[in-house]
Structure 1
Amino acid sequence: MTGPASPAVVPAVERPGGAPDARAAAESGLLAARLACAEQAASDSRRRLLEISEQAAEERYVSTALREAVMPGPGATIDLPHARVTARYVPASVRTGLGGDWYDAGLLPDGRAVLAIGDVAGHGLPAIGRMARLRHALTGLAMTGASPGRLLSWLDGLVLHRMPETTATAVVGHLDPATGAFTWGQAGHPAPILVRDGAAVQLDPPAGVLLGSGCGLPYEPAEVRLREGDRLLLFTDGLVERRARDIDEGLALVLHAAEGLPRGDLGAGLDRLIETACGSAPEDDVCLLAVDVLG
C-alpha cells in the first residue's frame, strides 16, 4: 500500500559568487559597526587635538604675559644718562620663555643707575617664581639708594628666611653718570667683563658669597672708573659653562668674542656672541647685558 508523498527538502540557495543572505547581512552590519567606531575615534582625536591646540595657545599667552610682567624683554634696549644698555635673554626652556636668570637696569632718584643681573638655580615655574621675587625685591630696595653691598645683604636675608630651598647668585652695581664710577658687589656670581680699547678683561671680584648662605659675611664693594667708549658686560654662568667644556675655556671664548663686538647693530653682535659661546641650543639660561658708556 502506497502512503502520502514526503515533503521535498529544498537546500539554501546562494547568490552567484556570494554568501547566503543571512551571512551577507551579518558581515554588512559588522562592517558598518567598524566604520562607525572608526569615525567616532577620528572625531575624538580631532576634538582632543583641538583641545591640546587651545591649551597650548593659552599657555603661550600666559607665558608671554608673565614674561612681560617679570622682565623688560629678551632683547630690550634701555637708555640711561650717558649710557645705553642692550639686553639679551635666552631661556633654556622654549616652552615658558623664562627661567631662573634675571636682570634689572634703571634710574634711581639720585640720578645714578642700578645695573643688576642674577641667577636662581633650577628651571620651570618654581625657578621662575623665585626669580621674580628676587628681581622685584631688588627693584624696590634699590630705590632707597642703599649701597650694592647693603642691597645684596638684604637679598641674602630674603633668600635665607623666605626662600630657604633656593640657591641664587647676583651682581648689583651703581653707575654714576657724573663721574663714570661703577660701584658693584657680587654674591657668588661671575664678575663683569670690561671691554676697553679693543681689549676685554674680567674684573677682579670683591668678596661675596651665595645668597642665602647665612654665614653673615659682608658683601665687599669694588669700583671701576668707566670712560667714554668703554663697554661693560654683565652675564650669567650659562654663557660660559657647558657640560663638555671647562669654564675657563668658555670664559676665554667669550672674552675673545667680546673684543669683536661691533659698535653698530650691537644686538645682532650679542646674538652671535651667545651662539658662538653656547651653540644654537643653550644648556642653561643665558642672560647678557652690554652697557655702552656714551659721551
Structure 2
Amino acid sequence: MVDVIGAAGLLGHKSDAELLAARLAHAQRLGNMGWAEWHLHTGQTIWSEQVYTIFGRDPAQGPIALPQLAKHVEPADVAALDRLLWSAVQSVEPVQAEFRIRRSASSGDLRDIRMVLEPLMAPGGPIGLHGVIQDITGRRRAERLMSESRRQLLEAREQAAEERHVMLALRDAILPDPACYPGLPDTSIAVRYVPAEKTANLGGDWFEAAPSPDGRLLLAIGDVSGHGLPAIAHMAQLRHALVGLAMTGRPANRLLDWLNELVLHQLNDTTATAVIGHLDPRTRVFAWSQAGHLAPILVRDGVASRLGQPRGVLLGAACGRPYELATTRLRPGDVLLLFTDGLVERRTRDIDVGLDLALAAAADVRGSELESGLDRLLSDIGGPNPEDDACLLGVGILGDPCAADEAPLGVRP
C-alpha cells in the first residue's frame, strides 16, 4: 500500500506530458503492442520501446530499417508483408496484415504479429509510414489449440458413430430379424431390443424365438457380461451354441447345463444370465429354466406377476450345479414377457423399484396388441436405459379366454 501511494505521489510530480507517456507505455505493455515510423526519404526509423520487446531486439542495436524488415519475416510470409507495404503507400486509409517474424538469434522463436500501417502524408504525397505492431502469438496459439481440439472432437464423434454403426450392423447380423418370427397358431410374438442412448457400446443382450424340430417354440433371452465387441462375440457364441443344442430336443435345464460348460471352458473371464424355455402350442405349456436371470412376467386377466423362479446359478459361475425345470400352463389371453435387467435396472434407482414399475406397466399389455403394448411398457418405465442395453421378448396367447382350462400354474424340479 505504501508503494502504491508512493508511486502515485511520484506521478503527481510529473508533467502532463510525462504522465501521458507513462500511461501510453503501460498500455503498450498490457496490449503487447507498440508503434513505429519509417521515413521514406531520410531512411529514419523510430520504434517505441515495446516494438523492441516484440522483435526480441536490444534497443542498443536500434530499430530495423524498412528495407531490412523482410529479413526478419518468416520466408513463407514475406509476400504478405510486400502486399501490406504496397497497399500502405497506395492508400490513404490504414491497412493491416498478419505475418510471422523470427526473433533475434538469441531466442529464435516465431511470433505472430499484426501490423496496421497508414501513410505519413505531405503535399507531394506520402513521405513515410506510421504503424502499430501487436504481438498476437498467444491469441493465435489459443485459436490453434481450440481448432485442434474441435478437430479431435469431431474425429472422436465420427469414430464413435462409425463404431456404433458397425456394432449395430454386427448385432443385426447375429440376432434374429424381429420381422421374421415363426408363425404359430393362436400365438403372437414381438421383441424390443433397445440400445443404450448415450453410449456407442453395445452389451451382450440377446434373444431367440425359433421352432424346434418337435413343433415346440424355443424362447430364450440372456445377457453376457461386458460391453463392446468382446461381449458381442461371446453373445454370438452363446446364442449360436443354444440354437445348435436346441436341435437335440432336450429340455431347457439340460440346455443350460451344456451352455454352462461352454462358458466355463471356452469363454474365459465371462459370465452370463439366461432364461430358456419351450412353449408347446398344443398344450400351451411353457417349460423353462433360468441361470441367474430375472424370472419372466405373466400377464393374466389384467394382473401382472413374476413367475416362481426355479433354481439356477449364473452361467460360468460354478460347475456341476443342477438347473431346475419349471412348467407354466398358459391360457388364451395370457402374455408372457421375458426381459434382461437393462429394462428395470438403473443407476439412480433400486432394481426392485424398476421391477414394480415394469409389473404395473405390463398389466396393460394385451396379446392382440403386443407391438404397441411393448412400446407403451418401455415408455411407462422411463424409456431406454442410458447405461445399458435392454431386451424385451413378448409372447401373447390368442383365443377366447372363456374357453381356457383351469389347470393351475406350477413349478416342478
Against the structure 1 CA distance between its residues 285 and 59, is the aligned structure 2 distance closer, same or farther, given a 3 Å change threshold?
A: closer
1:201 equivalent to 2:246? Answer: no
1:22 Cα offset (Å): 2.0
Distance in 1 between residues matched to 2:384 and 2:262, nearest whole Å: 35
TM-score, structure 2 as length reference: 0.59
Structure 1 runs of 4+ aligned residues shifted over 6 Å read 44-54
1:81 equivalent to 2:192? Answer: no
Against the structure 1 CA distance between its residues 62 and 220, is the aligned structure 2 distance closer, same or farther, given a 3 Å change threshold?
A: same
1:110 maps to which of 210, 214, 234: 214
1:269 Cα offset (Å): 3.0
Distance in 2 between residues matched to 1:280 and 1:60, nearest whole Å: 16
Q: Please give the per-residue CA displacement for 1:33-78, whole angstroms capped at 9, x wherever unaligned.
A: 569xx9xx89x979989977875675455324311221125x5562
SS in 2 for 1:256: helix
Q: Please give the per-residue CA displacement for 1:193-248, whole angstroms capped at 9, x wherever unaligned.
A: 11111111110011111112224121111111112211000011122222332222
- The one-letter amino acid paired with 1:65 is A
Distance in 1 between residues matched to 2:318 and 2:357, nearest whole Å: 34
1:175-254 paired onto structure 2 within 5 Å: 175-254=279-358
Higher RCO structure, 1 or 2 (CA under 8 Å, sep 6+): 1
Q: Do the aligned partners of 1:80 and 1:107 also contact (CA within 8 Å) in 2?
A: no
Q: Please give the per-residue CA displacement for 1:80-104, whole angstroms capped at 9, x wherever unaligned.
A: 3132210111123765573111111
Q: Do the aligned partners of 2:198 and 2:387 also contact (CA within 8 Å) in 1?
A: no
Distance in 1 between residues matched to 2:290 and 2:175, nearest whole Å: 21
Q: Do the aligned partners of 1:93 and 1:124 also contact (CA within 8 Å) in 2?
A: no
Deviation larger for 84-93 or 202-211: 84-93
The answer for the alignment partner of 1:6 in structure 2 is: none
- The one-letter amino acid paired with 1:240 is V
1:1-295 paired onto structure 2 within 5 Å: 11-12=42-43, 20-22=65-67, 25=70, 29=78, 31-32=98-99, 59-73=163-177, 76=179, 78-82=181-185, 83-92=187-196, 96=200, 98-262=202-366, 265-295=369-399
Determine what percentage of the aligned residue pairs are the same residue: 56
Bigger Rg, structure 1 or 2: 2
Q: Do the aligned partners of 2:204 and 2:225 also contact (CA within 8 Å) in 1?
A: yes
TM-score, structure 1 as length reference: 0.81
Distance in 1 between residues matched to 2:398 and 2:367, nearest whole Å: 11
The answer for the alignment partner of 1:3 in structure 2 is: none
- The one-letter amino acid paired with 2:66 is D
Distance in 1 between residues matched to 2:391 and 2:264, nearest whole Å: 24
- The one-letter amino acid paired with 2:350 is D
Distance in 2 between residues matched to 1:266 and 1:146, nearest whole Å: 29
1:11 Cα offset (Å): 4.2
Distance in 1 between residues matched to 2:199 and 2:387, nearest whole Å: 14
Structure 1 gaps, min length 5: 1-9
Distance in 2 between residues matched to 1:71 and 1:258, nearest whole Å: 25
The answer for the alignment partner of 1:4 in structure 2 is: none
Against the structure 1 CA distance between its residues 96 and 145, is the aligned structure 2 distance closer, same or farther, given a 3 Å change threshold?
A: farther
Q: Do the aligned partners of 2:161 and 2:200 also contact (CA within 8 Å) in 1?
A: no
Q: How large is the RMSD of aligned CA atoms in angstroms?
A: 3.2
Q: Do the aligned partners of 2:197 and 2:384 also contact (CA within 8 Å) in 1?
A: no
Q: Please give the per-residue CA displacement for 1:166-186, whole angstroms capped at 9, x wherever unaligned.
A: 121110000001110100001
